[in-house]
Amino acid sequence: MNLLQTMSESSKLILVPILAVLFVMIGYQYICPAGSNSCHFKDSDLDDDGPPKLPSKFNFTERDLDRHVEFNIKGDDVIVFLHIQKTGGTTFGRHLVRNIRLEQPCDCKPGQKKCTCHRPGKEESWLFSRFSTGWSCGLHADWTELTNCVPVVMDKKEAQRNKRNFYYITMLRDPVSRYLSEWKHVQRGATWKTALHMCDRRSPTQDELPTCYSGDDWSGVTLKEFMNCQSNLANNRQVRMLADLSLVGCYNMSSMNESQRNHILLSSAMSNLKNMAFYGLTEFQRKTQYLFERTFSLRFISAFTQINSTRAANVDLSEAVRRRIEELNFLDVQLYEYAKDLFLQRFQYTRQREHQEVRLKRREERHRSDGSREPELKDKA
């Protein structure tokens, strides 16, 4: 009887872990069915520090990858945020004024869009952005406008003798998603018609930049109508806003042939983007946060969140329409491929360097600890 009872208890002990394993496997299949992406690691996981799965398509140097700057918020340094439409810039702009841990935080009063972001103990701004200085250089000013306007505007606002150091930053987004998001925004009534588009000290003429609609706005525009307007600034917007437009005669399309113009614009946008102090990607919120913090030695109070359920994501596109959007934004597609490659290379470079520094620090601490124990051992001997 005792033998049978012992065997029964042993069977129970074996059966329990087997049932537990089966339960986990069944639960996993239910939560993570085959072919599902719901259980893949998301951007919020920063522990992908191994070598790149694919080598970079571009020959980036260590100087291109190392973007740490000695940002002196108490001195003469200024962060300038180039805000491209529908790239998540509003969210990122709010992070800059409300979510950075500072000795003197930005003063954000309830009900007001703009915050006062002064240096500690000074009546000077360390941030030039929509939510700090407003649209001082025009609505959604581009690289051409900002680089010519920011120093002049800040000199007028602040009496400063020392030369400022300007650190330009921006956000980019997948071109198809960005384009669809702009279409939905315009469909709801947005126009940005007060934008100046200043280049070589003047705005474009009506002939140089015809409007796509008559009336006050383009409300209710269909995607087909949106795509059919040849002068629609939504096309290749990211390249246009990052390039030096004076190199191509600004908005005068007759100054050179289209192929030459496109080549110069793309090359200029890539160069300006690479040389910026920092840029982030809407699709990689946590990596964007990580790289900004390491670039400027500033820390955010709360973590960035990845929101994938956007209006653009909910648009049901046929393959033909998607290809058409990519054709209309073929410069942006090339720029984003370059930007994503460089961004991920920078992220990996920074993570690896940070891990090396941690290992070196631990090694030095062990050496100091071992050195401090040697006299004790001698005394005991």
Instruction: For residue 107, list its beta bridge partners.
Output: 116
- Using a 10 angstrom Cβ sphere, with 0-12 exposed, 13-18 middle and 19 or more buried, the burial of residue 127 is buried
CA 213 to CA 87: how far, in whole Å? 24
Q: Is 152 helix (H, G, I), strand (E, B) or coil?
A: helix
| Paired tokens of 184 | 């939905």
- Taking each helix axis from N to C end, the angle separating 330-380 and 258-275, rounded to the nearest 10 degrees, works out to 20
Angle, CA 303 vertex, CA 300 and CA 304 arms, to 5°: 105
The continuous run of DSSP H or E covering 79 comes out as strand 77-82
How many Å apart are CA 227 and CA 248, to the nearest integer? 24
Question: CA angle at residue 201 from 266 to 265, to 5 degrees?
Answer: 5
50, two tokens: 């191994």
Tell me if 52 sits within 8 A of 345, measured CB to CB.
Answer: yes
> Of the listed 95, 140, 185, 263, which one is catalytic?
140
Residues in Cβ contact with 155 at an 8 Å cutoff, skipping those fewer than 6 apart: none
Sheet with 278-281, strands from edge to edge, namely 127-128, 77-82, 165-172, 278-281
Q: Which two tokens stand for residue 331?
A: 């410069």
**Which of 135, 73, 140 is CA-nearest to residue 100?**
73
H or E stretch covering 361: helix 330-380
> With 0-12 CB in 10 A as exposed, 13-18 as middle and 19+ as buried, what is 84?
buried
Please report, as a single letter, which amino acid is at residue 278: F
* Catalytic (active site) residue 367: no
Catalytic residue set: 140
